[in-house]
Structures are given as C-alpha cells and as structure tokens.
Amino acid sequence: MMTEFELIYRYFKAQDAFNAQSSDIEHTSIVKDLGDDAAVVAITSPSQWVTCVDTLIQGRHFSEDWQQVSDLAFAIGYKAVAVNISDIAAMGAKPHSILLALALPERLANETWLGEFAKGLFHACKQFGVRLIGGDTTRHEKLVISITANGILPAAIQPIYRSGAKVGDKVYVSGTVGDASYALNHPETEVGQQLAHRLHMPTPRISLGQKLASMGLATSMMDVSDGLVQDLSHLCQQSQVAMRLQLDKLPTSKPLQQVDLAERLRCQLTGGDDYELIFTLPSSVQLPQSLLSSVATQVTCIGEVVGLEQAQIDANNFGPSAIRLSYQGAAVTEQTPYPFDSFPNLKGYQHFSS
C-alpha cells in the first residue's frame, strides 16, 4: 500500500520534472514546487495574479461507473486541468501553474490508473503551458479532483469581467457549441462517438482570451461550462442587461448538423462542457482579421445586448428569462415556440440539484 508521499513522488513529482525538462516553456518564477508545505512563486515584474478553483466529483461531473472511470483515466486527468485553464482564459490571463487536491478511492490507487491519470494531467499541463506546483492527496470512497489554476496578467492589462456588457454590444462565441452535450447524452450513436473528444478533451481558448484582453476590445467575457443560456444569464446579471440570441446563428459542427434541429438546439442552448468563450464587443468594433487568423478557432456573432424589461426580469433572479430567443427573425416564445414543438426548459447544468 502506497503512502501519500510515495504516491506524490512516483506519479506527480517525477513526471512533472520530466515534463519541465522536455518542455520549451520557461517557469523561471517558480521558486519551489512539490515537496514542501507550500509552493513559492516569485513575481518578477508588475503583474496581476489570477486564480480559480474547480472540483470534479465522481457521479456528479463524470461517470459513477467504475469501468468508465478506469477507461477514461487519461481523459479525466486532462479535463481536470483544461476546465480550470478555461476560467483563466476567460479572464484574458496567461496560464501559469496549478495545484492538485486528489481524493482517491483505494481501488484506483494502483499503477495502471494513476499512471494514465498522471499522463493525462501532464499532457494538459504541457499543452497549456502550466506547471504543477503543489497539492494534497487523501483517501475517499469516490474519486474527487480539485484543481486550483493560476494565471498572470501584466499590470497594464485590464482583466475581462462579466460585468461590462452594455446595451447595443454584440454577443460572440468561439468555436462550436452543443457538441459535448450531445456526446454525453448520446454516447452510443455515431454522431456521439464522433463528438466524444469534445466532451472528454476540451480545448480552452487561451490565445483568444489573451488577445482580447491585450487589445482591450471585449466589454465582458466568460466561458461556457454549464450551458450557453445559463452562462449568458450570469453575464447578464453581472452587467444588469438582457440579451437577444439568434438561434440560426449558433455555430454548429459538421457532425452535430446531422442531428434533428430541435434536439441540436437544446444541446447548444442548455448543454454544458463546451468550454468556449462568450464575450461582448461594442457594435462599432470589428474583430481584426489578424486576431481571427491567429487564434485557431472560429468566432461567431450570435446576438446582441438589449435593455432590461423590469416587468419580465427580476433583477435579483435573472435566470434564462434574461435571454430572448429568435429564429430566422421571429421571436421564439411559449406562444410561438418554433422550431421547437414546445418552449424548452433553458436551465443548464445545476450543481446542487439532486
């Protein structure tokens, strides 16, 4: 039976050292990483420290099934890093480092599972330019992974918050949406299998976030993790605005285009795990072609910011009612729900529901 410290050094300290040596990414500001009571990071120039934390729980954020947990060890390690780096990207910051807290069931404390999990985690670290600098391990009956991600912004660059959207701004989203949701809910279908990588191996839009921040273009921004409508409603609440969303403008991958329109739109509106960036720009601003050609992902205008209608929206409880839908120029409402048979439930992922 491995001790906590044997586990750390065998699967995390040793592989981190290998990745650091084999990577061309410099981490000169990390004074001390794994092995002490705390990591030490030297801030070598005027900058802002951006940090976030996210927890993934077996049976809540990924499958309860032990066989699937075993089969997806690499992907679980990768995704645990990626979802946190997406939050750093949504602030416009450069990813820097992570800390890992791992609650490990006894049946997973073996070389096969831990080896694959660590490979996935460090593959993500190398891909996104971050270093594992500390953490903690303990025993638990379920697998629980909590990662703290850190990023850096130059002092002269303003972070992009959720609270800056203004009436008249245009609403944009990166990449395509709905893929991960469809793969989660239809894993056995041909389309679901084609889109499985979007669920298990998401790509945080680091370059786009950094460029938007450095150019000072975006008025607000966040990532899509719990569903497009639900996440946009959070942005609306922080900015005290509403939005009009054009369903026929939602960017759709080729595999998802094969799916029935109403089902596809439900996945795009309420499915989580996209980890794309949603942001707003003044209507007078056009994204520079130099930016679009350098970020390796498409960017699509999907709507506009509009004013609040107090009769419809309680300022203390925005929810999906802050998002008005249209399709081919016509309003989508409970009375006229087309292209749906009936108006859909627009709530996305609920962290506290049973």
Query: Are 66 and 27 part of one and the same domain?
Result: yes
Cα 245 from Cα 223, distance rounded (Å): 17
Yes or no: say if 105 and 142 are a contact pair by the CB < 8 Å rule: yes
| CA pair distance 143, 312, nearest whole angstrom | 42
Residue 265: what pLDDT? 97
| Domain closes at, from 154, 186, 214 | 154
Domain match, 247 and 326 both: yes
Name the token pair of 179: 């893929």
| pLDDT at site 309 | 74
Q: Does 345 map to a domain?
A: no
Give the CATH number, domain containing residue 300.
Answer: 3.90.650.10
CA distances (Å), origin 119, targets 81, 113, 248: 12, 10, 40
**Gap between the Cα atoms of 135 and 7, Å rounded:** 12
Q: Would strands 277-281 and 170-174 be described as parallel, antiparallel, or unpaired?
A: antiparallel
User: What pairs with residue 170 in β-bridges?
Assistant: 281, 304
End-to-end CA distance of the chain: 35
User: What is d(CA 78, CA 83) in angstroms, rounded to the nearest whole number?
Assistant: 9
Alpha carbon distances (Å) from 208 to 51, 80, 89, 263: 18, 21, 8, 29
What backbone torsions phi and psi does residue 214 show, to the nearest 5 degrees? -65, -30
**From start to end of the chain, where are the E strands?**
30-32, 40-41, 47-57, 94-104, 131-139, 144-154, 170-174, 220-223, 242-246, 277-281, 299-306, 323-327, 330-332
Q: Is residue 209 located within the same domain as residue 233?
A: yes
Supply the pLDDT for residue 26: 44
Separation CA 91–CA 212 (nearest Å)? 10
CA distances from 178 to 27, 85, 197 (A): 36, 20, 13
Domain extent, residue 21, equals 4-154
- Considering the domain boundaries, does residue 338 fall inside one? no
Do residues 177 and 317 share a domain?
yes
pLDDT of residue 347: 83
Q: Are residues 216 and 249 in the same domain?
A: yes
Q: Cα 60–103–179 angle (5° rounding)?
A: 35
The residue ranges of the chain whose pLDDT is under 70 are: 1-28, 310-318, 348-354
Mark whether 118 and 235 lie in a shared domain: no
Number of compact structural domains in the chain: 2
Q: Is the same domain home to 139 and 168?
A: no
232 shares a domain with 281: yes
166-187 exposure pattern, b = at least 16 Cβ within 10 A, e = fewer? eeebbbbbbbbbbbbbbbbebe
Q: Does 50 lie in the same domain as 144?
A: yes
Angle of helix 261-270 versus helix 228-239 axis, rounded to 10: 40
Q: Which residues contact 265 (CB under 8 A, 6 or more apart)?
A: 178, 247, 250, 339, 340, 344
Using a 10 angstrom Cβ sphere, with 0-12 exposed, 13-18 middle and 19 or more buried, the burial of residue 94 is buried
Q: Residues 167, 117: one domain?
A: no
Residues 149 and 62 reside in one and the same domain: yes
| 41 bridge partner residues | 30
Residue 347 lies in a domain: no
Q: Are residue 142 and residue 174 in the same domain, yes or no?
A: no
Counted residue by residue, the chain has a size of 354
Is residue 191 in a domain? yes
Instruction: Identify the pLDDT of residue 3.
Output: 56
Strands (E), 79-231: 94-104, 131-139, 144-154, 170-174, 220-223
Contacts of 84 (CB under 8 A, 6+ apart): 52, 53, 54, 98, 147, 148, 149
